[in-house]
């Protein structure tokens, strides 16, 4: 009797196990925008952000910070400086709302001379989101990107997500193109939960 062939793992089951995520820009979205800041004393969460993130995490969403940090390439601060700020941010979220970020990914690179990304990770390129999805087994099609510029919106769409524009004053050029058109534009974190969960609720346990 010949050995029975081993059945290949079900791609359907592995796909169903992937979580949706909320990809979150840092400055002007999750925290108040203080340009090139790495001083934990100047770190302030946006009003309502922690409570909304806690409820989304409870609903099954992964929470992933994706941020451009060209201050590293400019020599304004180091990776170690940013790591200290990241730890302070994680503590604030945990202490204020019990929120634990599933990942923090940053692009340290400068843009090209024409302002476009010179790498695959600087938003509006989708590299940070795609990398996080591979590392954390995330379902990009059920995920959202939220950020205060249309570059964030474009990065989300290029990764296959839906996108929210958090209109806190970060966008100044308003260059409208199909990939830069958000599904919704919000001004307060209180608006975010209903939009994200209402469009595609995370599956129950």
Catalytic residue, candidates 27, 139, 151, 152: 27
Please say whether the dihedral angle defined by the alpha carbons of residues 31, 32, 36 and 41, taken in this order, is positive or negative. Answer: negative
Please indicate whether residue 25 is annotated as part of the active site.
Answer: yes
Sheet-wide strand order for 162-166: 103-107, 62-68, 21-24, 144-147, 162-166, 184-186
Contacts of range 197-200, beta carbons closer than 8 Å, 24 or more positions apart = 197/56, 197/59, 199/162, 200/20, 200/142
Please indicate whether residue 139 is annotated as part of the active site.
Answer: no
Cα(37)–Cα(33) distance, integer angstroms: 8
Catalytic residues, which ones?
Answer: 25, 27
């Amino acid at each position: 009797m010949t050995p029975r062939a081993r059945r290949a793992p079900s791609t359907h089951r592995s796909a169903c196990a992937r979580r949706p995520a909320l990809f979150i820009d840092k400055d002007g979205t999750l925290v108040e925008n203080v340009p090139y800041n790495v001083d934990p004393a100047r770190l302030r969460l946006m009003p309502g952000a922690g409570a909304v993130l806690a409820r989304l995490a409870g609903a099954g969403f992964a929470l992933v910070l994706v941020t451009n940090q060209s201050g590293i390439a400019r020599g304004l601060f180091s990776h170690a400086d940013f790591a200290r700020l990241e730890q302070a941010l994680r503590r604030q979220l945990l202490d204020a709302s019990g929120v634990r970020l599933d990942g923090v990914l940053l692009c340290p690179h400068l843009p090209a001379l024409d302002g476009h990304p010179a790498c695959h990770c600087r938003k509006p390129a989708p590299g940070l989101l795609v990398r996080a999805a591979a590392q954390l087994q995330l379902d990009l099609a059920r995920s959202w990107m939220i950020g205060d510029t249309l570059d964030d919106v474009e990065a989300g769409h290029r990764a296959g997500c839906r996108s929210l524009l958090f209109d806190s004053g970060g966008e100044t050029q308003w260059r409208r193109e199909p990939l830069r058109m958000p599904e919704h534009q919000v001004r307060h974190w209180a608006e975010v939960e209903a939009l994200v969960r209402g469009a595609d609720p995370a599956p129950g346990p």
